[in-house]
Chains A and B, each alone.
Chain A
């Protein structure tokens, strides 16, 4: 809530771009940036506004050793066969949040059709989109109550799970924490995912959901290892 005021957000973004936002405040601001596309836009706007200040001095060629070291590092990385996850990548979060924001706007009308008509209780709705921001799946659940919960999953596109693999649904926490598995999905159009009571609070507070392609029995390491097929942010309706 502290960061919601537009003026405060603008002031923080300005001092972030200027470089005077320091210490823990800078860290906190960077954490917020990962999840908040609007804030990212404000920060980018400030970076763009101030950028002309860099035009004042002549470029200075860095020594050749800098490039050699960069080249060595990126080549070493591209050869590394390690089991990689996408969760250490800021990039994933940003892309996820952008695609999600676009989909949320486009689909505002569509949601009314997808969400059960009983509006007496608040529903969390997640419109999950593919890499091109096309809606592919919705997940919804009532947020009230603390017992076990059923998440209603609806696939909007026809897709098959590839042989030898499985689809796994993940909850993406708001902070820097790792995704939490909510279980495997099938390619059925309508399905239900049971969430145990101990995870209900976390799911209600989640930033969003994602679905990844994993080996037959799900990710062996507890975080997504395969391609993220669909993802989207949680929206309270």
Chain B
């Protein structure tokens, strides 16, 4: 059974309120989701809080999952990423400017080498090929925003570029990504 099939089955059992299936679902997915929340939030305590909130939400809304739209992992990932973005919005003032500057400095400066950081599965290859079609600036803002949860303003501060320029890189980058992926049927 593939990962996705296993997760589908577990989720179907969660719809029937099977708490053991939910525990298995947690064991299979939490480490992957936790690392994503941690990278966006930069603090273990906040990432743990978001992970907890999101799994309670997943349990309560599992009957909301529509098989045809995305894989279970993508669905759960979207819940965790949205939870992290909400948390960033609420908690950012707590970080203090200094912490945040330190964090920004810790991000690699040059455009991340996407191919090197991603493994070699088919869908990964496709995304990475499409990211290659972006200009380096476009690729940089898209990946920084996704990986580190940076807002337009934070991207602008980090890169030392005007807000309008950064916004337009993001918009054009996503647009080009969309065209490239549509061309391959995604």
Contacts and interface: CB of A to CB of B under 8 A. Distances in A.
Nearest to A56: B117
> Most B CB atoms within 10 A — which of A10, A26, A50?
A50
Given A22-B89, A59-B32, A48 B38 contact: no
A168 B129 CA distance: 54
A69 B52 CA distance: 7
A52 B177 CA distance: 13
Contacts, number: 156
Interface string B153-186: 0010000000000000011001101100100001
Contacts of B56: 70, 73-74
B34 interface: yes
A40 B69 contact: yes
A14 B145 contact: no
A222 interface: no
A118 interface: no
Nearest to A93: B64
Interface string B62-102: 01101001110111011001001100010000000000000
Contacts of A40: 69
Which residue, B117, B143, B178, has most C-beta atoms of chain A within 10 A?
Answer: B178
Contacts of B127: 49-50, 52-53
Interface residue tally on A, bucketed by range: 35 or more
Interface of A, secondary structure class, is helix
A54 B70 CA distance: 15
Interface in A19-60: 19-20, 22-23, 26, 40-41, 44-45, 47-60
B69 A44 contact: yes
Given A50-B146, A59-B31, A78-B17, A90 B52 contact: no
B10 interface: no
A8 B91 CA distance: 29
A106 to B, nearest CB: 16
Interface residues of B, number: 66
A20 B121 contact: no
Contacts of A89: 60-61, 64
Contacts of A132: none
Contact of A61 (B34, B77, B119, B178): B34
B32 A62 contact: no
B85 A52 contact: no
A91 interface: yes
Interface in B110-133: 114, 117-119, 121, 123-124, 126-128
Contacts of B19: 71, 74-75
B141 to A, nearest CB: 8
Given A15-B170, A60-B35, A90-B64, A74 B59 contact: yes
Interface of A: 10-11, 14-15, 17-20, 22-23, 26, 40-41, 44-45, 47-63, 65-67, 69-71, 73-75, 77-78, 89-91, 94-95, 98
Interface of B: 17, 19, 22-23, 26, 30-32, 34-36, 38-40, 47-48, 51-52, 55-56, 59-61, 63-64, 66, 69-71, 73-75, 77-78, 81, 84-85, 89, 114, 117-119, 121, 123-124, 126-128, 142-143, 145-147, 149-152, 155, 170-171, 174-175, 177-178, 181, 186
18 contacts: A14-B177, A18-B146, A19-B81, A48-B74, A48-B186, A49-B186, A54-B36, A54-B77, A55-B119, A56-B118, A56-B147, A59-B34, A61-B31, A62-B30, A62-B51, A70-B59, A89-B64, A94-B66
Given A56-B117, A62-B48, 14 more contacts: A20-B170, A22-B89, A23-B89, A44-B75, A48-B74, A51-B70, A54-B36, A61-B34, A62-B47, A70-B26, A70-B56, A71-B19, A74-B59, A89-B60
